[in-house]
Structure formats: C-alpha cells, structure tokens
Structure 1
C-alpha cells in the first residue's frame, strides 16, 4: 500500500465502523446530558459550591491518572468487543443509581463522587478500547477519514446535547435527565455484536510483564519527538480547560443568572462551531500544514475560553459572549483533535496502539483533575471570573510545546 498523506482521506467507511460510530455517538449524546445534569444536580439539589463542583469533576478525571496506563495493557491483551460491552453496561447501571437515590431522598455528594469515579473508570478503559478498535475495522488508508467522521459526529452531539440537557432538566429534573445517559450506554452495548469478528479476537502482545508492556507504550510516545510534543501540548491545554470547566456552569448560573433551558440553548448555538471545525479540518491541514494548524487551533481555543468571561452585564451581551465563546472554542478544538489523533495513527506501531493511546490519555486526562481542583479553588477564592480568565490565558502557552519541536515546521505525515 502506498503511503497516504493524512490530509487527504479517501472516501467510504466499512459498515463495521459505522456500527461502532453510531453506538459511540448515541452514548456521547447521553453523556452530554450528564455533563450538564450532574453538576446541576449537585448545585440545585445538594447546594454544592465551587470547591465541591471542582472535586466532582476531578473524580471523573482521576481514573485516567490512576488506571490509565493499565487500561492500555488490558486493551492490548483482551478482545475489544468484550471490553466495550463491559464498560458500557457498568456505566449504564452506575448512572441509573443517581436518579434512583434522588427519588428515595438518599442522594448525597458522597454518592455522586463515588458514581462519578466508577463511571470515569469504565470510561477510561472503554475510550482506550474504542481508539484501539478503530484500526481493526478500518484500513490505515481510511483512518483519517474515520477520525474526521467521529469528530463531525461529536460536534453534532455537542451542538444538540446542551439543548437536550437543558430541556430535560427544565421539564423533569437534573437527576432524572441522567437516565437518558444510562439508556444511551445500553444502546451502544446492543450495537456491539455488529462489529466484525476480528474486534472480538484477543490481541497478541507476547508474554512480557505488565510493567514491561506499560514501558513499551510510554517509550513509543515519549521517545518520538512529534508524539511527545503533541501529547504535552494537549495535556497542558486540557489542564487549563478543566480549570475553566470546573467553574463555568457556576459562572453561568450565579453571575449571569441563566436557567437550565437558557444554558442549554446558548451552549448548543455555540457548539455549531464544532461542526464547522470538523468539516473544515482536512482543508485547514492542507492549507497551512500540520504543525501550524495545531498551534493556531490551540490559540484559537484559548481565545474562545476568554470570551465567556468578558461581560456579565447587560445580560443580552453576556449571552452573546458565552455563545460566541463556545463557538470559537468548539471550532478550534475539533480541528485540533482531528489532526492530533491522526498523528498517533501515523506514528504509533499497531501492536502497541492501545498502550500508546493509554499513555497519552493518562497524561492528558490525568492532568484534568488537577486542573479542576485548581479551578475550583480559584473560583472559591479570588472568584469565578478570575478562574475563567486565568485558565484561558494559561491555555495559550500550551502551543509552545509544538513551537519548540520538529512539528513546528512539519506540513504533513503519512499513514
């Protein structure tokens, strides 16, 4: 097979991948509801403040740091279909306990922390399995096309998700809205048998120890200057983004005075930028090159974060700023994600792809709870607006990792 430039994906995707994509899209739509409904449950039902919402977000991200590297070994050793099925069912059952406990009057912050941690643990393993499963159902020449389709699907979900979440929270309640996410994971599990047989086969990883296999994944990432730069840049930005996210909903509800419906509507309008970003990602890579597009979109994403905190009055101007903020942030992040994941497919050996993905996600999302805790602490101290502005300004610095690497002058890679 001739090398294929990652910026020029061929058309057409196999049915096995489309089944995987549909299941993933449905579960992500449900998860978008939980992204809003879970902190609103803590805020409106349990009276949570900035520190508690920051800790809640940290609980969901902490498993990346604790078991992320082990997840890569699991994914490279066990059948992907089995892993995905187990992860989806665990998340479905765990999320269903939140509205159940709320209806019984037994829900507290401790239960939310525990449920969020368990869901986060299953999500870590499931997401690594998904990334490793894609190359088993899509040939290498079409991997960028597959990644672009996922980012487009993800952008549509992010656009619809807040609107759906806002309606569910307003029409029913925040805990009840989480049932939609639980059901979405059941749907994803039902679609898994449609994957081709090779996705159900055990991977061949040899008889080396867990520690040696983890070390192989880390070496593949940090021994390559381009993978290392992209990983550190992504991790730095995610740290700042989670500091921002820890106080963002509190800022909208307390400083601007938005209800659940209006919050969902504004975020949905803003997320249309993600659709535009996913559609134009390949063109942007061809136009200015891989390295420049990664740096430009990181800077653009950070600029988008800044816009949300510029105005609190008048309310109409604040609403426009929040919507524009999310539009610019989503646009930049979708273009960035299409290209940064494609870098892994181009440079990582297939036999260690699970461990490479796990190594990257362990660092990237392992930094997320630290960012969330810092954002919550700053929000509780200097203030919510200060936390938003500081995290967005620090986010710009993440592009320095790429600027200082060979990727700065790299126009394209090959699969």
Structure 2
C-alpha cells in the first residue's frame, strides 16, 4: 500500500495537484482528440467526396488560417481587457456549432466546397480568439516558474490524443463517411465548454491599467515583438516555418489518397505513428530542455521537422509499405514539431510581462501565422504545376535551408 502511495505521489506532482489545471488539461485533451477526426475528415471530405483540386485544397487550408491575419491583433487587445475563461468557453461552443453544419449539409444533400470554406473560416476565427485565450489562461494558472512543465503536460495530453485519435478517426470515416464523423468532434467542444464552467481560475483577472485606443494597444503589442530581439527572431523563424508547413498541409492528403492510393484507415494508421512521436517528445521535453537548453532544443526541433518534410516526398511503394514509410516520416516530423513548439511557447511566455501576455500571444500568432494562407495557396498552385510529390520535396528542401539558417544565426 505504501509503495502504491509513493508511486502516486511521484506520478502526480507539480501542476497535477491543481484542480483548475487538471480541468483545463482534460478540456484540451478531449478537444484535441476530436480535432484528430476533423483533421482527417475535413480534407478527406474535400478530396474524396467533393473531388477538390489541389488549388481548392489550398484555398480550404488558407481560409482556416486567414483569421490569424484578420482578427488576431484585435483579439490580443480584447484578451488583455477581459477575463479569459469566458472567452475560451464561448469559443468552444462556437466551434462545435460550426462543425455541426457539415454533417447537416451532408444529410440534406447540399454539401459543397463552399460550405467547407465557410466552416473552415469560422473555426479559424474561434481558434484565433479561443486559442490565444487558452495560452494566456494556461500561463496564469501555471505561473512563470512552471511554464515548460505546463506546456509539456498540455502537449502530452494533446499528443496522447494524437496517438489514438487518427486510428479511431480513420475507422469512423470509413464506417460513417467523413462528414458524419465530424459530429464527434463537435461533441467534444460542447463537453469541454461544460467542463470549463467548473474552473475557478482565481488568477484570471483583468489588469486595471490606463487604457488607450484599440489601435494604440495593437501598436504596443507590435512594438513589444519588434523591440525584443528574442521575440522578433522567434516570430521570423516561426512565420517562415508556418508558410512551409501549410504548403505541405495543402497537398499531403491528396498525395496520400491519389498518388499512394491509401484509404482513410491507412492514413489514420500513418497519423498514429506521428502521435507516437508527439507523445515521446512531450514526455521528454522538460528533461531535454533542462539538459540542452531551450534555445538548442528549438533549433534541433526545427531540423527534425525539415527531415520529416523531406521524407514525405520520398514515400512510395505498395499501400502497406507506403503506410509504414509515411508513418515513420510523420513520427520524425511530429517529434521535432512538438519539441520545437513546447520550448517556443515557454520561451516567449517567460520573457513577457503579465499585463502584455494577451497582446504578445496574439501578436506572435499574427506574425507567425498571418502568412500561412499564402503558403497554402502556393502549395496548391505549385502542386497543380509540378505535381504533388515534387511540391513536398520542395517543401523539404526549403525546410532544411530554414533549419540551417536558424542554427547558424542562433
């Protein structure tokens, strides 16, 4: 009995002892599980059911990220003026309602690529506002000394969902078809909203300072990033990385279904390999950061994502071999991406004053993701011109150049 108690105490240390953190962690984990379904079902609906072209796929991905350019700066000002928890709950409800439009349209036989565009855009708006609020709320709950621990634990929950979610998503898509599988994702957002109503979040307070105009506060957030050498460097590298990442996102599902001939179930299995990489990275992120330093891990993570991109374009062979090769490439990519993301978030949160966390988060999201729609459009257009495989190889080569540039300048 004492040995069991000792194991329990070791396993549930630190932030696990905070009820608010546990509820926030559970909320993010279940919505991450649901997102695994939509991450597969939405592009598969476009590619298989609606026979979307590479450029239409690029437009779909672009519209999902366009809100970062349109509303993220205003969202940052909003978050510094209000409590974050109600914003998170409203965003969860909004995303759930938007996602339900897809199965309803499919059931009534009116589903079109334009409806997918609208849902992708609306979910993107909720992601911009709600996602930024989540990050600020997490930083407030954890405290500055536990930012790496908090981000690692949150990512561990999300990546655990990535481990089992794609396989279940693939089975659901094959059994129910892609549009109807999205119902489960909508339900996870409704469940999350109900769960978050029990969070107390005593540190989620409004900072009462002299308020200027919205544009003045947006300008203050931009100046914060511009004047900080660290934040500016992080924004520049992350922005270029996001362009390449969205070039890849726009074509990878089409490449898997049309050139490799993989089914939804096989793609789900390949994505599960990526989940393994995510879990391994999240479980070891804090230890690796303590040993090698946050900056070094950021660079190493970038390099691993570049290797993963390059490997995507080299996948070939019969379906079973292609599934295995694609899965191993995803394992490498996701391992690097999670290591990079955890340390990137922790570093930028650690060097920013509390009163500016909302604006910093939104400004960094604007700077890093505003150009992502362009990447999606470039990816779709490039695939139309030179083919899906060649586009992935171009992304891999540019990713290696970015990682080497970050390594030499750090």
TM over 0.5: yes
2:275 matches 1:261: no
Does the 8 A contact of 1:306 with 1:392 survive in 2? yes
Q: What's the counterpart of residue 378 of structure 2?
A: 374
Indicate which of 140, 143, 146 corresponds to 1:139: 143
Count residues in correspondence: 397
Q: Deviations over 1:180-216 (max 9, x none)?
A: 1110110110011222253664443532111111111
C-alpha displacement of 1:245: 0.9
C-alpha displacement of 1:318: 2.3
CA distance in 2, matches of 1:351, 1:227: 16
C-alpha displacement of 1:90: 0.9
Q: Deviations over 1:139-192 (max 9, x none)?
A: 222222111101111211222221121011001110001111110110110011
CA distance in 1, matches of 2:270, 2:347: 33
Does the 8 A contact of 1:300 with 1:332 survive in 2? yes
Cα RMSD after superposing both structures:
1.6
Distance verdict in 2 for CA 1:47–1:319, change over 3 Å: same
Q: What's the counterpart of residue 237 of structure 1?
A: 241
CA distance in 1, matches of 2:211, 2:247: 41
Q: What's the counterpart of residue 41 of structure 1?
A: 45
Per the normalisation by structure 1, the TM-score is 0.92
CA distance in 1, matches of 2:294, 2:89: 35
Q: What's the counterpart of residue 181 of structure 2?
A: 177
CA distance in 2, matches of 1:149, 1:46: 38
Q: What's the counterpart of residue 22 of structure 1?
A: 26
2:175 matches 1:166: no
State the SS of the aligned residue for 2:370: helix
Q: Deviations over 1:47-97 (max 9, x none)?
A: 111111111111100000111111101111111121111111111111101
2:287 matches 1:283: yes
Per the normalisation by structure 2, the TM-score is 0.93
What residue ranges of structure 2 are gaps of 5+ in the alignment?
Answer: 1-12
CA distance in 1, matches of 2:255, 2:359: 38
2:184 matches 1:193: no
C-alpha displacement of 1:404: 5.8
Does the 8 A contact of 2:306 with 2:403 survive in 1? no
CA distance in 1, matches of 2:167, 2:232: 37
Does the 8 A contact of 1:151 with 1:337 survive in 2? no
CA distance in 2, matches of 1:334, 1:245: 17
CA distance in 2, matches of 1:359, 1:284: 28
Alignment of 1:209-220 (within 5 A): 209-220=213-224
Q: What's the counterpart of residue 14 of structure 2?
A: 11
Q: What's the counterpart of residue 412 of structure 1?
A: none
2:113 matches 1:81: no
Q: What's the counterpart of residue 324 of structure 1?
A: 328
What residue ranges of structure 1 are gaps of 5+ in the alignment?
Answer: 1-9, 409-415
Q: What's the counterpart of residue 69 of structure 1?
A: 73
